[in-house]
Chains A and B, each alone.
Chain A
Amino acid sequence: MNETAATAADLRDTALAQPANLPVGPIGRHGVGYWGAWTLIATEAALFAYLLFSYYYLGASGPPGWLLEPHPTLKLALPDTILLVASSFVASFGEHGVLHRRRGQALVGFGGAFVMGVVFAAVQVLEWKSKTFRLGDSSYASIYYVTTGFHMAHVVVGLVVLLALFVWTALDYFSPRRRLSVSAGVLYWHFVDVVWLFVFTTYYITPYLGFAR
């Protein structure tokens, strides 16, 4: 109860080792919370995998003409995709700001990513409005709206996360050591972007490659 270090007698024949100087709580990305963020990403990625599976299954077993848009226009979707991917870089820029104790950079990063995310969402709504089909028109329409809808829901959550990071950074909560929330939040935003690449490819690129036509 009183010693602070292991004695030689302790160490002989026992697994007890002199503990090292250990971090107290999460340091940088090293913490159980980051593992937790990855499990969240794993399960949500699985969700999108099943959504895309549903698309491919419905398409492969659907009647001719199932694809309501054999040549979907990329006018809005492609720039929107580029915007979203760019916002990931901006968010990372923000995380680097926290890493290097540059609060201004962090605020620009999180705020910038937030704005870009809002624009993405707005453009996506315009894209929905530009479609000639509605949710209940056919299974293609249904899966399109539900998949992009689920993605939109994840974007909205991501926007709330970015906003929270912005506010917490402004309140000077984070430092290079204490920033697990930042790393987890930015990781989530990256995930939202990567998922979009899969969704975009499925709905906007594979028709040109001949799927379900």
Chain B
Amino acid sequence: MKEPDFRTPRLGTESPELRERLHHIWETEPGLKGVFGTTDHKTIGIRYIVTAFIFLVLGGLEALAIRLQLAGPNLSLMTPEQYDQFFSTHGMTMIFLYALPILSGFSNYLWPLLLGGRDMAFPRLNAFSYWIYLAAGIFMYAGFVLGNGPNDGWFNYVPYAERNYNPGFNQDFYSLGMVLLGISTTVGAANFIVTAMRTRAPGMSINRLPIMIWGTLTANAANLLVVPAVSLAFFLLWMDRQFGTHFYDPVGGGQPLLWQHLFWIFGHPWVYAVVLPAMGMVSTGLPVFCRRPIVGYSVVILATIATMVLGFGVWVHHMFATGLPGLSLSFFSGASLVITVPSAVAVFAWLATITLGRPVVTTAFLYFSSMILLFVIGGVSGFMTASVPVDWQLTDTYFVVAHLHYVLIGINVFPVLGACYYWFPKMTGRLLDERLGRWNFWITFIGFNLAFLPMHLTGLFGMPRRVYTYPDGMGWNSLNMITTIGSFVLAVGLLLFFVNVARSLKSGAIAGPNPWDAPTLEWSVPSPPPPYNFAVLPTVASANPLWEERLGEQRTRSSIDRGMLLDVGKESIATTAMDGVPDMILEMPEDSVAPAVTALGITVAFVGMLLKSVWLPAWGVVWGGSLLTLIGLLMWLWPRRDLREREPAERGPADRRRLSGEAVA
């Protein structure tokens, strides 16, 4: 019996029997096979979120150690060597192992639910991206734990990173770890792009996407194109260190600035990649607590895209002091000033939504709304550094440290915490405690501003970055003490967040499918969602499907209760990119350990590369890892009948049993 190549999907409504059948098809297999082989985007999303939060805590502890060392002048709690590793690892951890992965985690969890689908476009690739991220994080932290953590800042300028100035393993752990991490980021980007373009609910045309989709989509489109720059930069550094090449060292005709160009061509778009998805979360969540759709939906989306596009053209503003010609400086300075304009669009859209809506103050609302002010503070300090002559004074002082913490904590951490309060009930079926939430919010807010607002002044008074201590009499003593105190208050605030999570997991109030009465599709399924997300695939008619009745702006309604069932196997729907017209039934893969095997193979190869300078058989490890990678890839990519990648589509007895449900319906 050959499976038909074409099929008209059945329409229907939910029933207990349908749910049970779908559950059986979609649930993760039990035991180790399930742990290592699951492709469920919700599991993978939560793994990302938990892992990223662990790195946030580690990075935070490093920060507290730094602040203790800097609390007063001429302290010696740490040697310069230790301090250099602490501040570099802090930066690396926060920016690479927390800031993007936490957003990937939320996006992974939420996208299929927001898009009305059953999984991402490439579920096995999704699993693979997590395993590589975990491996890369452990790889880089192994260096730190062994006293060989990165020690040249997160930006790792050469020649100091070259072997003659940095003979230990520090740079090798960092370089290879970053190349490894780049693989995770890149495949994740591919997944998000194809999912957003091709696997949406019927009717979800391009102008009906939740803004969170646009935030993550633009960020990942950028990542796809710029991560190779940093991977290459680190790879070339590793080559200089291990194989005597001369990419960066002037003696052999190399150029130290080549590193800076490659790094910042990646680095600047990266900082937009770690905030645009979070801004998307605010644009999706804040309107819910203002009880109205966002003001300027289309303009905000265009501004998101514009920010990302302009973000490709400003990287030289990290290099204003390097002696570049004036014409080049002028161009990049102008571009860096202009890029504030689309950000202003988002700020005013949010302010208008609050003022023209009916705000309800909840903890999530507090996080989403306070970030507007923190965004602006970070934005104006960025505005100041965009001007070349002013930047010639500001750059490399604590003013920039204040700026970057306002943009990273203000536009990433605060939205993330708000997103936790907003989506925790969907993910766990329980609400986070509101009272504890208020304590959490206010202590975090006060601690953060106490720590970082005075830091602007510290920078204006000339304190250099990346110094393990400072002399007396520079005017920095009290400011540093205030910052140190603030950082500990901030830490207490974050601790309260984790306490809230721990308590609420056990005893939080039970949440229904839509505790916030929110408009987007994820709130139409149970909390937590079943493995298949939607028993009946919704068809949408607007950007706010669950609010259509009350908004009363159009006659056509989204169809939530009735739609395609796609219960003949593990299936979802693919649609056209622009109009969201269904154009293919997607067969989704079963749980598979191939991604984990491939990830293991790659990691083993990288460990071999790391060890090659001290252990001769390491090349064998590299080959062994490569072989394992090849085996994993063959397992993964071998054309499968059930995914319709090969002929004949004839079915064996097991498949016929699975399909027998068709006869019962």
A interface residue numbers (CB < 8 A to B): 1-6, 10, 13-27, 30-33, 35-36, 39-40, 42-44, 46-47, 50-51, 53-54, 57-58, 61-63, 66, 135-143, 146, 160, 164, 168, 172-175, 177-178, 180-181
Contact = CB atoms under 8 A, between A and B. Distances in A.
Contacts of A160: 630
Nearest to B556: A15
Contact of A54 (B11, B18, B247): B247
Interface stretch (B196-204, B276-284, B354-362): B196-204
A56 to B, nearest CB: 11
Nearest to B185: A43
B481 to A, nearest CB: 44
Given A1-B18, A17-B539, A138 B252 contact: yes
A24 B540 contact: no
A140 B634 contact: no
Contacts of B203: 15, 17
25 contacts: A1-B13, A1-B665, A13-B556, A14-B559, A15-B539, A15-B540, A17-B539, A19-B202, A22-B583, A22-B585, A24-B584, A25-B643, A27-B5, A36-B194, A50-B228, A53-B261, A57-B258, A58-B255, A137-B246, A139-B245, A139-B247, A141-B246, A177-B5, A178-B644, A178-B646
Contact of B252 (A6, A46, A53, A139): A139
Given A14-B559, A54-B262, A139 B254 contact: yes
Interface stretch (B66-74, B231-239, B517-525): B231-239
A32 B574 contact: yes
B582 interface: yes
A176 to B, nearest CB: 10
B555 interface: yes
Contacts of A2: 12, 665
Nearest to B9: A19
B562 interface: yes
A1 B385 CA distance: 62
B4 A24 contact: yes
A142 B660 CA distance: 62
B647 A172 contact: yes
Given A14-B557, A35-B194, A140-B253, A24 B647 contact: no
B645 interface: yes
A22 B121 contact: no
Interface string B561-592: 01111000000001000000011111100000
Contact of A146 (B4, B198, B245): B245
A5 B375 CA distance: 51
Nearest to B246: A139
Contact of A138 (B236, B246, B565, B587): B246
Contacts of B555: 13
B495 to A, nearest CB: 39
Given A1-B565, A19-B202, A137-B252, 16 more contacts: A10-B562, A13-B556, A14-B539, A15-B540, A19-B564, A21-B8, A22-B583, A24-B587, A35-B198, A43-B189, A54-B262, A57-B261, A62-B253, A146-B245, A174-B647, A177-B5
Contact of B225 (A31, A46, A58, A62): A46
Contact of A3 (B11, B262, B586): B11
B78 to A, nearest CB: 36
B275 interface: no
Contact-residue bracket for chain B: 35 or more
A10 B13 CA distance: 12
B11 A5 contact: yes
A181 B637 contact: yes
A37 B64 CA distance: 44
A136 B451 CA distance: 48
Interface of B: 3-15, 17-18, 121-122, 125, 186, 189-190, 193-194, 197-199, 202-203, 224-229, 231-232, 236, 239, 243-247, 252-255, 257-258, 261-262, 265, 539-541, 555-559, 562-565, 574, 582-587, 630, 634, 637, 639, 643-647, 649, 665
A138 B574 CA distance: 52
A178 B13 CA distance: 32
A14 B556 contact: yes
Contact of B634 (A5, A39, A146, A164): A164
Contacts of B584: 22-27, 30-31
A23 B582 CA distance: 10
A-B CB proximity, top 8 nearest: A25-B644, A136-B244, A142-B245, A15-B541, A16-B559, A39-B190, A47-B228, A173-B646
Contacts of B198: 32, 35
A15, A18, A135: most-surrounded residue (chain B CB, <10 A): A15
A143 B224 contact: no
A146 B257 CA distance: 19
Given A46-B224, A61-B255, A146-B245, A22 B18 contact: no
Contacts of A137: 246, 252
A51 B190 CA distance: 21
Contacts of A138: 246, 252-253
A25 B643 CA distance: 6
A32 B236 CA distance: 34
A173 B7 CA distance: 22
A57 B493 CA distance: 47
B121 A32 contact: yes
Contacts of A14: 539, 541, 556-559, 562
A168 B232 CA distance: 34
B122 A36 contact: yes
Contacts of A51: 232
Nearest to A7: B11
Contact of A47 (B10, B231, B563): B231
A164 B631 CA distance: 12
B148 to A, nearest CB: 24
B440 to A, nearest CB: 39
B243 A54 contact: no
B647 A46 contact: no
Given A15-B541, A39-B190, A43-B224, A178 B647 contact: yes
Nearest to B231: A47
Contact of B7 (A21, A26, A164): A21
A139 B12 CA distance: 66
A172 B122 CA distance: 25
Contacts of A3: 11-12
Contacts of B665: 1-2
A43 B559 CA distance: 38
Given A17-B202, A35-B194, A24 B3 contact: yes
Contacts of B246: 136-139, 141-142
Nearest to B266: A50
Nearest to B239: A146
A21, A50, A143: most-surrounded residue (chain B CB, <10 A): A50
A158 to B, nearest CB: 14
Contacts of A46: 224-226, 228-229
A43 B245 contact: no
A23 B587 CA distance: 11
Nearest to A180: B645
A186 B556 CA distance: 44
Contacts of B202: 15, 17, 19
Contacts of A57: 255, 258, 261
Contact of B11 (A4, A168, A173): A4
A2 B17 CA distance: 12
A203 B253 CA distance: 17
Contacts of A10: 11, 559, 562
Contacts of B14: 1
Contacts of A140: 253
A43 B228 contact: yes
A83 B11 CA distance: 54
Nearest to A15: B541
